[in-house]
Structure 1
Amino acid sequence: MPKSLSLRSGLGSVLFWSVISAAFIGPGSVTACAIAGSSYGLQLLWVLTFATLGTVWLQEAAARITIATGRDLGQVISQTYSGTKGRWIAWTLFLAIFLGCAAYQAGNILGAVSGLALLTGLPIPTLTVVVGTVCIVLLWIGSTQNLANFLGLIVFAMGGAFVYVAFGTPVSAVDLTKALVVPHIPPGSLLLVNGLIGTTIVPYNLFFGSSIVPTVDSAGQSLSEMRLGIWVAVILGGIISVVLLLAGLLIPNDFSYVHMAQVLTNRLGNWAGSLFAFGLFAAGFASSLTAPLAASITAKSLLGVKPNSATYRSIWLVVMVTGLVFGLLNVNAIPVIVAVQAVNGILLPFVTIFLFAAVNNRDLLGKAYSNSLMQNVAMGSVVLVTAVLGLWNVWLALQKAFDI
């Protein structure tokens, strides 16, 4: 019999699932959302509506699989497809997630270091080495959860400051409502559209979220608790993304982290500029712990890699080193962050197709836990739209590369 949903358990579920929203409110969200507002006004606001709802639908499906079977998404996929075909699918999915994590890590490190540089004025290479070393030590000893939760609270505090700033933007309620629901892709914005999707519907979060469901408590989590937690936590993350875009309206056509900090300083005082810098660091540092760990968790789920084995640690170490290399090269953080979010947006449909197939397997889940018609329509729309946008972006890149 399903457990009843008490207020205490409901709030606990929201706090637990806030790890998902904290994971996508990283430097990628701060950068992509603010640039969207700075460069295109309200025209890309609908992307955040789509991406936030898509995150809810996909994370709910991945968690539902675990509640129904006691196995996480990767284990279900690897056990559904047997033999050589199954190994190919498992390895291909792992490599897609691994590459996505490595791409994210580049943006995470660059974002964390950019925030520290705003705060301290210290050289980028020095800060990169310090951040990377601390992350490696914490990942090696496994002491990341409490620190990641604390940094997540800082990120939400930064979001609260942006909520106040957003109320000062010259936007009417009618225009805001229309922009939230009416799709529009202005010329030259497709890469950023994919970036906004990729930084919100994070592919590795599907495996990461699915793998942590049974640890909520000894009895597991009911469907109602899980759904409440995911809906509330992800919608709050989506609201922060929206206000970041609105704050970007105050930086016309010349976005930088310095200008973003200045907007907050002008509106709220010097403390707000410092909060943004620390929030940017916190978002990057928390994500710098999550992305490498997610790569190893995916390997455990899909390939059966044992936790804390040499292989498990080498996977997160490679992801970590990838981010450090980009940081030490001292590249411009902003274009790299936007590009890597777009890469993940392009990889997303490949991962969601297998999630879609798993959650419609009635032999595995039974009727009660399988997708309904409306859930299939919702998930199918995410798969279709992201696939079309991803292929469109690849086609434009090929045209540019080969002068077609």
Structure 2
Amino acid sequence: MSRTEHTAPPRRAWHLARATAEDVPSLSEAHASVRVPVGGSWMRRLLAFIGPGYMISVGYMDPGNWATDLAGGAQFGYTLLSVIMISNLMAILLQALAARLGIATGRDLAQACRATYPPIINIPLWLACELAIIACDLAEVIGTAVALQLLFGIPLVAGALLTALDAFLVLLLMNRGFRRLEAFVIALLGIIAVCFAIQLVAAAPPLAAVLEGFVPSGEIVKNPQMLYIAIGIIGATVMPHNLYLHSSIVQTRAYPRTEAGKREAIRWAVTDSTIALMLALFVNGAILIVAASAFHGTGHEDVAEIEDAYRLLSPLLGLGIASTLFAVALLASGVNSTVTATLAGQIVMEGFLRIRLPHWARRLLTRALAIIPVVVVTWLYGSRGVSDLLILSQVVLSMQLPFAVIPLVRFVTDRGLMGTLVVSRATGVVAWAVAGLIVVLNLKLLWDTLAL
């Protein structure tokens, strides 16, 4: 028998295995696991789709956003509320596109990249996304560790090490079903919203000034310091890993995989994410409004760090539990962000590389990569170094954003890939404009940060 005859069967087996891997759905253990009622009221159908939007909204109010919101409110009052609103509208559009991609093609963004681009492009895309997830995880570790210190007096190093336990929390929730995971996330989001609603009532901001802040002002462009913080707010808003995450978890719904079924699923998924992102707008706006009410014009305009805000909120607002509520919301935000980063890491690794690791191993790996720099910096430089590290994590996220936004917009505007579910020409133009604006602003943020 010839050498060729000996080697042919293994090659056929390899190609068969590769073809089978192509058919593995995104997040296979939860794929189409949430039942969608056939018929019934629109409310029942909407409730069946509610969940993924709230999970992606977590990334828009994670600890990485708090520093820019605090600094914006303390230094410039309510002026930058318009920037928060505009950045939120951009996020609503991009997340709607991510949901459309996942439902229309049956692939998440990572799978679509692997199927479309050669390895020379896919490998850098994968590395960029892994860096973004590690940077996001870094912000979560810092936020959780700071919250544990403020609430319970736990040293920052010990608090950072305790965040490793989040790996087992996520594993437990996933084993109980995807709906339980969504319920956990929504419950923590509710805690965050309630904490800031109480602080808003205590702050009693002037309504006219707040409403005026939502109107874009030319002063933002003229004032370099204000422009810098405005770019920071936009740069910290759209999280690259959220686009991968959303395109995957919308497929957990058991909707009919027909054109009509997909159209209806897209409509409900976009409704879900839009409502959830309005909650993110409320939380980010509330952080800025509370900071403006408590710090702006009271001699505390230099407040930009979470610890300073915690120390000053209760005496300045005249509410004894204001600082505690602030720290509780920070802890809920940090823990919540862990869940989404875990899933995003799994989706990215499986989508780009088709490497399947146990959930606990994947979580511990990414969490260790985030914990190590926090522990080292805290040990050497203290809390001030941790604040600088938090800012650095947001810069790293800004660097990775184009690697997610540009492929997403390219895919949803490609009729050959999307078929009849391709976005309209007008939506495509707006999407490219938003992508271009975000990329330019993030590059400027990076340049200005490195120049400081």
Q: TM-score per shorter chain, which class?
A: 0.7 to 0.9
Does residue 168 in structure 1 map to residue 205 in structure 2? yes
Change (3 A) 1:116 1:301: same
Equivalent position of 1:282 in the other structure:
332
Equivalent position of 1:201 in the other structure:
238
Q: State the percentage of identical aligned residues.
A: 24
Shift, 1:41, TM fit: 2.8
Measure the CA separation in 1 of the matches of 2:103 and 2:277: 19
2:405 counterpart letter in structure 1: T
Give the counterpart of 1:385 among 437, 443, 451: 437
Shift, 1:190, TM fit: 5.5
Measure the CA separation in 1 of the matches of 2:100 and 2:218: 28
Larger radius of gyration: 2
1:89 counterpart letter in structure 2: I
Change (3 A) 1:164 1:216: farther
Is this contact kept in 1: 2:59–2:337, CA < 8 A?
Answer: yes
Shift, 1:61, TM fit: 0.7
Measured against aligned partners, the alpha-carbon deviations of 1:120-150 in whole angstroms (never above 9, x if no partner) come to 1122222222222x11333455459254443
Equivalent position of 2:353 in the other structure:
303
1:305 counterpart letter in structure 2: I
Measure the CA separation in 1 of the matches of 2:223 and 2:392: 18
Is this contact kept in 2: 1:101–1:291, CA < 8 A?
Answer: yes
Q: Per the alignment, in what secondary structure is the counterpart of residue 306 of structure 1?
A: coil
Shift, 1:195, TM fit: 3.2
Deviates more, 1:292-301 or 1:239-248: 292-301
Deviates more, 1:227-236 or 1:316-325: 316-325
Measure the CA separation in 2 of the matches of 1:173 and 1:269: 21
1:95 counterpart letter in structure 2: L
Is this contact kept in 2: 1:48–1:241, CA < 8 A?
Answer: yes
Measure the CA separation in 1 of the matches of 2:450 and 2:425: 37
Measure the CA separation in 1 of the matches of 2:80 and 2:39: 41
Does residue 52 in structure 1 map to residue 88 in structure 2? yes
Equivalent position of 2:134 in the other structure:
102
Q: How does 1:302-381 map to 2 (within 5 A)?
A: 302-306=352-356, 308=358, 315-329=362-376, 330=378, 331-332=383-384, 333-367=386-420, 369-381=421-433
Unaligned runs of at least 5 residues, structure 1: none
Paired residues, number: 390
Equivalent position of 1:90 in the other structure:
122
Unaligned runs of at least 5 residues, structure 2: 1-37, 258-263, 296-300
Measured against aligned partners, the alpha-carbon deviations of 1:90-117 in whole angstroms (never above 9, x if no partner) come to 2211111111111111111111111111
Deviates more, 1:243-252 or 1:15-24: 15-24
TM value normalised by structure 2: 0.77
Change (3 A) 1:272 1:112: same
Deviates more, 1:39-48 or 1:245-254: 39-48
Measured against aligned partners, the alpha-carbon deviations of 1:203-237 in whole angstroms (never above 9, x if no partner) come to 10000111111113454761221121111111221
Is this contact kept in 2: 1:360–1:371, CA < 8 A?
Answer: yes
Equivalent position of 1:159 in the other structure:
196
Shift, 1:89, TM fit: 2.2
RMSD after superposition: 2.9
Is this contact kept in 2: 1:345–1:386, CA < 8 A?
Answer: no
Give the counterpart of 1:8 among 29, 44, 47: 44
Equivalent position of 1:253 in the other structure:
302
Deviates more, 1:72-81 or 1:266-275: 266-275
Does residue 178 in structure 1 map to residue 209 in structure 2? no
Is this contact kept in 2: 1:26–1:283, CA < 8 A?
Answer: yes
Measured against aligned partners, the alpha-carbon deviations of 1:259-286 in whole angstroms (never above 9, x if no partner) come to 4334256536333322221111111122
Measured against aligned partners, the alpha-carbon deviations of 1:131-182 in whole angstroms (never above 9, x if no partner) come to 22x1133345545925444323322222323442554257525522324898
Shift, 1:296, TM fit: 2.5
Q: Per the alignment, in what secondary structure is the counterpart of residue 210 of structure 1?
A: helix
1:242 counterpart letter in structure 2: G
Measured against aligned partners, the alpha-carbon deviations of 1:223-263 in whole angstroms (never above 9, x if no partner) come to 22112111111122112211211111122222333443342
Measure the CA separation in 2 of the matches of 1:122 and 1:398: 33
Does residue 243 in structure 1 map to residue 307 in structure 2? no
1:99 counterpart letter in structure 2: L
Measure the CA separation in 1 of the matches of 2:449 and 2:204: 38
